[in-house]
Structure 1
Amino acid sequence: MITLSGAHTIGQSHCNGILPHLYNFTGRDDATDTDPAMNKNFAVFLKKLCPQGNRTSTIFIDSTANTFDRAYYKNVLQGKGIFMTDSTLITNPVGKKVVTKFSKPGSSFFTEFAAGMVKMGNLGVLTGTQGEIRKKCQFVNK
């Protein structure tokens, strides 16, 4: 998952995807309830782009959002990952070691990412009544 999380190096997210990281980390749902692992200045910057309650604006996922590169891992190490899952990558020594390795030039990130995508692409896709297309990604349909 650490390798495939590298896909966060490109693209955008709606503010809705990061509001819990900024305002509801422990469930208090207030402006001070920010992930403590997040860089404080970065949190202030994101809160300007995504004020509490703003669910529709979009923001770039990383500092080089139009380039597939290692910037995502550098950002995560600096506490500048925008998703809650980004912070969790470095909460244990093994994860932090992999993120650190992938952040460096000459790392195996690109090769491992390609292999991971091929492996994921070979997973059987559930169709018909065996699977579902979720109306909201975070929740199983009712």
Structure 2
Amino acid sequence: MLIFILWINFQLNGPSWTVPLGRRDSTTASLSAANSNLPGPNLNLSALITAFSNKGFTAKELVALSGSHTIGQARCTVFRSHIYNDANINAQFATSLKANCPSTGGDNNLAPLDTTSPTAFDNAYYKNLQGQKGLLHSDQELFNGGSTDAQVNTYSTNSATFFTDFGNAMVKMGNLSPLTGTSGQIRTNCRKAN
């Protein structure tokens, strides 16, 4: 994780935050456990707020952490329903995505989560939401006439506030259910169990 954070900061001009070292890691991994704790791409705002609240996060922290979608890509199968069925999407944006994501097939075709600056960690993600250019349904729900619109507006005009709030929320997320005592291990090589 530390390497990724340094990469965000130096390669993408993104935020930085203090990462506690000497933390314990699990000796096993579970795809199903990981996926059951991640909010789905088709959730509405109420479900997103509930999912984050269940982990101790505020709606403001939900919006800040969602800003990580300023980098990365999503598979067509994840955003197809949004571009073909939702009304809260810019028509030209949807049409441009349909060229690479047909109504059937092409499930593994990729599109950047942030089409404006896909390789920069910045606040363009929030500006995209204001223009109804959120790739995922769950992204666009953050700016859709609901309670999080004001926070999206703040981050779209103030990258320093976004970076600060994102860093604070990442530290909080890093402190979710840490392994203590004899659970897990402090790895000598972060890429594999000892």
Scaled to the shorter chain, the TM-score interval is: 0.7 to 0.9
Q: Is 1:91 matched up with 2:144?
A: yes
Residue among 58, 75, 79 paired with 1:14 = 75
Q: Report if aligned partners of 1:15, 1:57 keep a CA contact under 8 Å in 2.
A: yes
What secondary structure sits across from 1:59 in the alignment?
strand
Q: Is 1:59 matched up with 2:111?
A: yes
Q: What is the TM-score when the length of structure 2 is the normalising length?
A: 0.56
Larger radius of gyration: 2
Q: Report if aligned partners of 2:82, 2:137 keep a CA contact under 8 Å in 1.
A: yes
Higher relative contact order (CA 8 A, sep 6+): 2
Q: Is 1:81 matched up with 2:142?
A: no
Q: What is the TM-score when the length of structure 1 is the normalising length?
A: 0.76
Q: Return the letter of the residue paired with 2:79.
A: I
Q: Report if aligned partners of 1:38, 1:79 keep a CA contact under 8 Å in 2.
A: yes
Q: Report if aligned partners of 1:13, 1:61 keep a CA contact under 8 Å in 2.
A: yes
Q: Return the letter of the residue paired with 1:81.
A: G
CA RMSD of aligned residues (A): 1.6
What are the ranges of 5 or more consecutive residues in structure 1 without an aligned counterpart? 24-33, 127-142
Residue among 153, 162, 181 paired with 1:100 = 153
What are the ranges of 5 or more consecutive residues in structure 2 without an aligned counterpart? 1-61, 180-194
CA distance in 1 between counterparts of 2:159 and 2:121 reads 15
Q: Is 1:35 matched up with 2:96?
A: no
Q: Report if aligned partners of 2:73, 2:113 keep a CA contact under 8 Å in 1.
A: yes
Identity value in percent: 39
Partner residue, 2:172:
119
